[in-house]
Chain A
Amino acid sequence: MRIIGPDELVFGVDNLDASTAFLTDYGLTSAGDGRFEALDKTAITLRAKDDADLPPPLPTASLLRLTIWGVEDQATLDAIEAELGTDRPVIKDDSGMLRCKDDAGFEIAFRISHRVKLDLPAELINSPGAAPGRAMNAIGANQDAEAKPRTLSHIVYFVPDMDLMANFYIDRLGFVVTDKFTNTGPFLRPQANNDHHVLFMIQTPAYMQGIEHLAFHMQGPTELMLAGSRMVQKGYESFWGPGRHKFGSNWFWYFSSPLGTHVEYDADMDMHDGAWIEREVPMDKEAAQLFLFENVEKWAPGGPPPAGGTKAGTAPEGP
């Protein structure tokens, strides 16, 4: 089945103003009607918690109300409708979008992806021994770069039965396991996406079920650092990062949010195809990251001027 990845996540919040400010400062663009888009039109949508049009909430603290998956074509939608229609109600709305629940009880939907194809440069680097990545005189450090999220990358859920949930996506929707943390959960990618993961889950008690985090891809590590630094400067709470994960290799920087979930910037994730053989390790802090930095206030090395007031080696002033 040609599923691409998460297309749009819909939240029901009690703090629309704060959530709007957060998503705007994070770098998404308001497209009206509560939708905040990345460059390729994947999106987060905000609704009031009591909006009657929203699917019902989970009985937990989670504010995520709907995960919309994007697929390549109508044939995939038809295949999903036929497959899931065998054992649950699948509702088709006027736009052709399919809605149902997954086996963990999350509200999900499927539609032909709203993504637009991006044609943008990667982060370009110069490396000894390799051809220059940037043209002569092209500058790498641009304080004023836009640093906008490019596309919705992945979603991570807290789920009480990770095997039940993972098997639904694997057996019924054709997702592939790329790697696995023992007793925590598998990293999954759908068939129309080579990204290391678009879906991950963490096994928890039932009262925790919900969204753990969502992430958007940035151009590269420099844009990730730039965007994250701007969030810190605006007073937002950095939760974890910046750093680089091992599984997936993606750079990460997580922020807490008024949507009651961590919101991550990521960059430079591994891509895999059918030749890849999954790895499995126990989850611990060593396995979770290659390295971890922490943002501190800017400074520069230096020292006080020399005693006497005259710089060593400079000529005395005079006519």
Chain B
Amino acid sequence: MTAAMQAVCALADIPDGGSRGIWPNARGQHQAFVVRQGGQVYGYVNNCPHYDRARLGWKKDAFLNGPGDRIMCASHGALFRITDGKCEIGPCIGQSLRPIAVRVREGHVFTEPPH
């Protein structure tokens, strides 16, 4: 684990199969988010590759499509693979979300800061 990593939430704070915004800025906007699948947690910068500075969610902690099998950008419906952030359909097809390093240790989720 690198020194820059910080605890962002407990694993139990993320519903299994769900998502959660992390790293709020001074205005309370989440700069990154994590998606949990069982014990595995994936983290990405909250920025759609389609528009500069476009955050993905449509509501606090809501970053997934209905079935919960893709990350969805609520701006124009782009769908990204949860495991590697690659856009499969949508305005940024072929591009990818920027991943952030995530570690789960003793029930806590640690990530590097969004960059």
Contact = CB atoms under 8 A, between A and B. Distances in A.
Interface in A243-295: 255-262, 294
8 contacts: A60-B90, A235-B59, A236-B58, A236-B59, A239-B54, A258-B59, A258-B74, A262-B75
Interface in B58-95: 58-60, 62, 65-67, 72-79, 89-91, 93
A14 B66 contact: yes
A14 B58 CA distance: 15
B49 interface: no
B55 A208 contact: no
| Contact residues of B: prevailing secondary structure | loop
Contacts of A122: none
Contact of A207 (B67, B73, B75, B93): B93
B62 A18 contact: yes
Interface range on chain B: under 10, 10 to 19, 20 to 34, or 35 or more?
Answer: 20 to 34
A257 B74 contact: yes
| Contact residues of A: prevailing secondary structure | loop
B74 A62 contact: no
A294 B67 CA distance: 33
A239 B29 CA distance: 11
Contacts of A14: 65-67
A63 B72 CA distance: 12
Contact of B76 (A18, A22, A61): A61
B55 A237 contact: yes
Interface residues of A, number: 32
A15 B77 CA distance: 12
Contacts of B27: 294, 296-297
A239 B55 CA distance: 8
A14 to B, nearest CB: 3
B46 to A, nearest CB: 10
Contact of A61 (B57, B62, B91): B91
A210 interface: yes
Contacts of A37: none
Contact of B57 (A237, A259, A294): A237
B39 interface: no
B76 A208 contact: yes
Contacts of A204: 91
B90 A61 contact: yes
A13 interface: yes
Given A13-B66, A237-B55, A297-B28, A256 B90 contact: no
Contacts of A237: 55, 57-59, 74
A36 interface: no
The winner among B27, B28, B67, B74 for most chain A CB atoms within 10 A is: B74
Given A13-B66, A207-B93, A258-B74, A61 B58 contact: no
A15 B68 CA distance: 10
Interface string B18-35: 000000000110000000
Given A260-B75, A260-B76, 13 more contacts: A15-B66, A16-B66, A61-B78, A61-B91, A62-B76, A158-B91, A208-B90, A212-B76, A236-B59, A237-B57, A255-B58, A256-B58, A260-B72
B50 to A, nearest CB: 8
The winner among B54, B65, B66 for most chain A CB atoms within 10 A is: B66
Contacts of A258: 58-59, 62, 66, 72, 74
A260 B66 contact: no
